Amino acid sequence: MYKRTILLINKEGLDEQLAIDFINKANEFESRIRVKAANGDEDANAKSIIMVTGLELEKGREIELNAVGEDEIAAVDALADLIEFYSTHSNRERIQKDTAIV
């Protein structure tokens, strides 16, 4: 198992767009991935939009990502990187990045 704790600092918290991108990224990996508030008891399957949004993770919360499987390190690090990207880039910058990829 590999786990990592990260601070959710983007002003919207884990909003709908971040949740969608988070789920899509999680589904790129084979590992079983879980997410939860670092001090909470309830965790969620990181590949389920309903479960992840049900956690209602807000700005300022530490979240714990953990994964088990062959690509566990890559999975957790990619999700942490995505959250950090959302925390440091505006909506406009994210849209420009997305359109540049297409």
Q: Return the HEC string of the chain.
A: CEEEEEECCCCCCCCHHHHHHHHHHHCCCCCEEEEEECCCCCEEECCCHHHHHHCCCCCCCEEEEEEECCCHHHHHHHHHHHHHHHHHCCHHHHHHHHHHHC
pLDDT attached to residue 47: 97
Percent of the chain, pLDDT > 70?
Answer: 87
CATH of 2-101 given 3.40.50.300, 3.30.530.20, 3.30.1340.10, 2.60.40.10: 3.30.1340.10
Does 92 score more than 90 pLDDT? no
For the stretch 10-54, pLDDT in tens is: 778 888 888 999 999 999 999 999 999 988 889 999 999 999 999
pLDDT attached to residue 16: 85
The residues spanned by each domain of the chain are 2-101
